[in-house]
Amino acid sequence: MMRMASFTVALMVIAATITIRVDGHEFSHHQEVKILRHLKRLNKPAVKSIKSEDGDVIDCVPITNQPAFDHPLLKHHTMQMRPSFIPESDSTYINEETKTINQVWHKAGECPDNTVPIRRTKKEDLLRPKSMKRFGRKPHHSIPRTTTFDPTKGHQYAIMGARNGKFYGTEVVINLWKPYVQVPDEFSLAQTWIVSGSGSSLNTIEAGWQVYPELYDDNRPRFFVYWTRDGYRRTGCYNLLCSGFVQTSNRYSVGGAYNIVSRYGGTQYDISILIWKDRKTGNWWLRVGKDIIGYWPGKLFTSLGNGATRVEWGGEIVNLKTGGKHTGTDMGSGHFADEGYKKASYVRNLKIVDGTNTLREPKSLYYFADKHNCYNVKTGNAGTSWGIHFFYGGPGRNVKCP
């Protein structure tokens, strides 16, 4: 009997320590179960799946079954299918039109009405970050700039911003590039931030494009959204990788890759982003180009319910100082702002939404570039059709940025 008991205990120990190997990662059966549960939460049953040439699988998920509605604050949420209004501009000049840019997966098909295209998450995606809990979230060494910016945090910016007012949205046109990123857990992005509060009460709404190999397993520029209500501590995530953002479009995939980018000295491409608060519902809507993508429900936020106190536009990179040296990760085109159009990256036609729901050019603007020998920012003079605009970017490590 004693031998049998010892044998049983030995089997239990062996079973508890069985490991499974996936792409060089070893993890226990318990971890495998956690991974499968996480994948089930993220990958909702689809009515159709599209295999894209870039390796993505796009699942067409019924619009009422998307991840947003798993959020406890949205259990009884009444979905808003369209905004009650779209802000109009008071500008007398005509904006230069943006060229149509499609996402790569569009070549392989389209999602039916009443579904939303969601990029499928794979097991390997969950294994790339240092912690599965941080998957889809901004790493602690990369959080948006505050007035007490600490350059040791590992993030660097070249931006323009507006503050000392109440803002209910923004419209901006952002130049699209494919910057070099030195190591997978660094990233390079261009975006707009809508911000209120500070510290653990920081609320943000964010949208733009980014190259982030650790998150997407490639070096393609991809459209992204982000949000937080507690200074990035426990809430918020990229795209639809947690519950929150409600998608209404069946044409655009948040996290989807773009099929074309600007070339140095050649054709320039950009994306137009409009974010605004629907004053009737409290929801914050997102439009890209002419496509209304969806909204961040007002219930997700605290201080943003009263409007934003700061809006920023521009570039950000993460510098992990691999080998003790500044990263060689590009920001924007990888060229300094001084080089100007077709060489440096630009952000143009900056506008804010004011208290009358009107798009206006912002006043009292400020600039910020914390490491100007690595990345910088400079106002442009390309003409009235570009409105308020600036150039930004840089190559990272160089003679003056060791």
Residues designated as active site: 206, 316
Rounded Cα–Cα distance for residues 388 and 274 (Å): 16
**Among 253, 247, 176, 165, which Cα is nearest to 210's?**
176
DSSP sequence for 67-126:
GGGGSGGGTTPPP-SS-S---EE--SSPPPPPPP--BGGGGG--PPTTEEEEEPP-HHHH
Q: Distance from CA of residue 162 to its chain's centroid?
A: 20
Rounded distance, CA 345 to CA 139, Å?
Answer: 25
Task: With CA atoms as reference, report the closest residue to 345 among 160, 119, 127.
Answer: 160
CA–CA distance, 289 with 401 (Å, rounded to integer): 36
Tokens found for residue 368? 């910020």
363 burial via Cβ count (<10 Å: 0-12, 13-18, 19+): exposed
Number of residues assigned to the chain: 402
- Any idea which residue has 């320590």 for tokens? 17
- DSSP states of 164-233 as a string? EEEE-EEEEEEE------SSTT--EEEEEEEEE--GGG-EEEEEEEEE-HHHHSS---EEEEEEESSTTS
